[in-house]
Amino acid sequence: MLELRNISYRVGDTALLDRVSLEVHPGEVLAIVGANGAGKTTLTNILSGKKTPQTGDVMLDGASIRSYEPSALARRRAVLPQFSNLSFAFTVFEVVLLGRTPHQTSASVDAEICLEAMRVTGVEHLASREYPTLSGGEQQRVHLARALAQIWHPNGDGDRYLFLDEPTASLDLAHQHHVLHIARDCAKLGLGVMAVLHDLNLAAEHADRIAIMRQGTIAALGSPDDVLTSENIEAAFDISVMVTQHPHAACPLVVAVPEEDIDLRLAREEQALNETIQQLLNE
Amino acid sequence: MNGSPSSLSALRLGRSQPAASTHEASAERRYPLGLNATGILAALSLLLVVVSVLAAGAGALPIPPGDVLAILANKIGLGTGPSADSRALQYEMVLTGIRLPRVVLGILAGAGLSVAGALMQGLFRNPLADPALIGVSSGASFGASLMIVLGSLLPGFLASAFGSFSIAIAAFVAGLIVTWIVYRIATHGAQTSVTTMLLAGIALNALCGAGTGTLVLFSNDNQLRDLTFWSLGSLGAATWTTVLVVAPLTILAIALTPRMARALNAMLLGESEAQALGIHTERLKKSVIVLSALAVGATTAVTGLIGFVGLVVPHLIRLSFGPDHRLLLPASALLGATLLVAADVLSRTLIAPSEIPIGILTALAGAPFFLWLLLRSQGGAWGGSARGGGAFAGARGSASGGKGGFTDA
């Protein structure tokens, strides 16, 4: 199990994270949602070891991740960055192959794994293209393949984890769902998946648990049904929403309702009520 | 939680477009002439040997390649024994006393500068980075100027202890000190910021330039001439002693870099990505800086400033064979050695018996080539397509206005 224990991270006087505790379990998809500046990225950075918190610690199977050898950690935990600034002309295949850096496997094994990972994320046909020439969405799927190749096989060390930082940011609708299906399937295969998402409905549909972040704390944590209430969302995002049932999936569906619409709706409801009363009075 | 952990091979396949290439070609990069990485290195090694033999033969007393090889074979005990012929004796003296140390120094300097360039470009994640960025060259330059202009003020025992090496020693030491200062400025706690290092390097380069300029102000005509020629570079100081001084540091740097190749590849993705891939990034940065500073410092101390080799050679290799450091580092060493040995032949034969400083030649050939690369990378009006524009995609990020250039995000 991967665990954030009582993490605080401040820059100057501002607490970006304030005594946050959170667990990522093997076999689940945990979605992190929250408004801009709520602390999602800081949380991911701390979880992936990029930033060190002032207090608290990140624990993997009960031991601080700082006590792990970096390559041993890398064999268990892959990170898909929000974007990656690679201007060198690696081919797509070579970029995916970088995912095998922490492994001492043979070149043929590495190549086989990378080809499979590229098939999974649908970038196999781009294998010999130069990475800088790809579109943003294609680049993101290349990096997903790289992250998958990194933790492709179970190894004796323990459970594997996949961190996705806004994995759907530059993807079209079909690929957004495809990527989250991959995350879902990874969880089914025993991985612990944590994804920072902006789209509440993608989170509702694909996550086992959702953590809503607000001002550096976790404001709500639990199943989509429990967490995605209009009160929670309005408090975290400062926007009025309606939460209904998804027409096809067994999960909530969040619809933003701008303020003026609410006034209009209230006015209509009031009018309808008045009419009913009038009718009743007339009878 | 959901049964035993398994391989991700069980993942469903994505919606890949029908692939034209996957069946007929492997996903591996295809190199020119159908060579593989080993073949490329073998070809470059052969080129280096051929150029070196020709270079050893070229000069005021031309020695045919056959004789060069025969003398070399004799030296290592493979030949027919020394010839008593007076011409052969003369050949041997010129070759072993003058030409060979110069060729070997050229090989060491070219290889060291090119490998250092490749390392810097990897570290700064910028294909246009140069070994001079960390201050080693300008520091060496300042140290050399200091010794040239103020060396006579040295206490007598020091001057006699260092002898003719005093300038080289001053240059080497000053180069390392400046690099160390740059590194210290950029390091907080256990972390080194590559961006700060770049900026600190620029500032210290300027400071060293000012120092050197001030010394120029106080120099007499002879010193000024020495200074100028030092800053233009030359392999003229080559003796077996200088070779023995430069060789260990340069060879150490070149020998240790292949172990860093995979880590440098990961580093191209960005520092945090490299960390997530299990790389000790701080350790890597330190090794890269130390090895580059040693190689460039030792070379520059003996040869003076030789520009553009460290910049252009790794570039050429990347253009032809891609950015993989496992091939880039050794190939840069071989090509850099070859080019510098060739440039030195031109430098000492074109206007013989005078010499053209080799730095002039490398700049004369390197700068236009570099400009051509820049223009090509911009695409559009200057030719070269902007997207999918072949192998030069490498420099696009930084050449087009610095976006994606010097960041350590």
By the 8 A CB rule, do A216 and A18 touch?
yes
Closest chain A CA to residue B385: A133
A7, A27 contact by CB (below 8 A): no
- Six-digit token pair at B51? 């150029």
Cα-atom radius of gyration of chain A, to the nearest Å?
22
Burial of B242 (0-12, 13-18, 19+ CB in 10 A): buried
Contact B11 A148 (CB under 8 A): yes
Closest to B8 (Cβ–Cβ): which among A88, A115, A148? A148
Contact B273 A87 (CB under 8 A): no
Tens of pLDDT, residues A177-235: 999 999 999 999 989 999 999 999 999 999 999 999 999 899 999 999 999 988 898 88
Q: Do A132 and B273 touch (CB under 8 A)?
A: no
Where do the domains of chain B lie, and which CATH numbers do they carry? 36-72+79-376 (1.10.3470.10)
Q: How confident is the model at residue B162 (pLDDT cuts 50, 70, 90)?
A: low
Q: Do A111 and B28 touch (CB under 8 A)?
A: yes
DSSP string of B213-247, one letter each residue: HHHHHT--HHHHHHHHHHHH--STT--HHHHHHHH
Is A125 within 8 Å of B396 when comparing Cβ atoms? no
CB pairs < 8 Å spanning A and B:
201
Across the interface, do B15 and A178 touch by the CB < 8 Å criterion?
A: yes
Contact B266 A27 (CB under 8 A): no
**Minimal Cα distance from B15: which residue of A?**
A122
**Average pLDDT of chain B to the nearest whole number:** 81
Q: Which residues of B touch A81 (CB under 8 A)?
A: 270, 272-273, 276
| B-chain residues near A86 (CB < 8 A) | 268-270
Residue A120 burial by CB count (10 A; 0-12/13-18/19+): exposed, middle or buried? buried
How far A64 CA sits from the closest chain B CA (Å)? 16
Q: Do A125 and B11 touch (CB under 8 A)?
A: no
pLDDT, position B42: 94
Cα A233-A235-A239 angle, rounded to 5 deg: 65
B185, B200 Cβ separation under 8 angstroms: yes
Return all residues near A117 (Cβ < 8 A) that are at least 6 apart: A96, A99, A145, A146, A148, A149, A152, B8
Predicted pLDDT of residue B255? 92
Alpha carbons B333 and B253: distance in angstroms, whole number: 11
Pick the residue of B4, B6, B11 with the most A CBs within 10 A to test the interface with A by mutation. Answer: B11
- Quick: pLDDT tens for A160-184: 999 999 888 888 898 999 999 999 9
B233 conformational bin, left if phi > 0, alpha if psi -120 to 50, beta if neither: left
- Of B267-271, B360-364, B375-379, the poorest mean pLDDT is in B375-379
* pLDDT above 90 (res A155): no
Q: Which of B406, B114, B405, B63 is CA-nearest to residue B253?
A: B114
| Of residues A118, A132, A190, nearest to B5 (C-beta) | A190
**Distance (Å, whole) CA A163 – CA B273:** 12
CA-based nearest distance A265→chain B, Å:
43
Give per-residue pLDDT as tens, B240-265.
Answer: 888 988 899 999 999 999 899 999 99
One DSSP character per residue, B296-310 reads HHHHHHHH----SHH
Please report, for residues A25, A160, B258, the alpha-carbon distance to residue A74 in angstroms, rounded to integers and kept in the order given. 18, 9, 21
- Which of the four pLDDT bands, split at 50, 70 and 90, describes residue B80? low
Nearest-Cα distance to chain B for A109, in Å, is: 13
Q: Does residue B138 or residue B14 have the better pLDDT?
A: B138
Which residue of chain A is at minimal alpha-carbon distance from B393? Answer: A89
What is the Cα–Cα distance from B111 to B131, expressed in whole angstroms? Answer: 13
Which structural domains are found in chain A, ordered by start?
A: 2-76+155-240 (3.40.50.300), 90-154 (no CATH)
- Chain A's closest residue to B266, CA to CA, is A98
Using 50, 70 and 90 to split pLDDT, how confident is the model at B405? very low
Look at residue A85 and tell me whether its pLDDT is greater than 90. no
Subunit contact B323:A89, Cβ cutoff 8 A = yes
pLDDT band at B1 (very low <50, low <70, confident <90, very high): very low
Q: Is the pLDDT of residue A58 over 70?
A: yes
Give chain B positions within 8 Å (CB) of A174.
15
**Which of B269, B317, B328 to mutate: most A Cβ within 10 Å?**
B269
Burial B285-314 (b: 16+ CB within 10 A, else e): bebbbbbbbbbbbbbbbbbbbbbbbbbbbb
Task: State how beta strands A29-34 and A192-196 pair.
Answer: parallel
| Contacting residues of B for A25, CB less than 8 Å apart | 1
From A70, A89, A124, residue closest to B22, measured CB to CB: A124
Mutate to test the interface with B, among A83, A88, A97, A184 (most CBs of B within 10 A): A88
Is the pLDDT at B124 greater than 60, yes or no? yes
Residue-wise pLDDT tens digits, B267-285: 999 888 999 999 999 899 9
Distance from CA of A116 to the nearest CA of B (A): 7
ipTM value for the complex? 0.84
Predicted local confidence at residue B386, as pLDDT = 35
Report whether pLDDT(A42) > 50.
yes
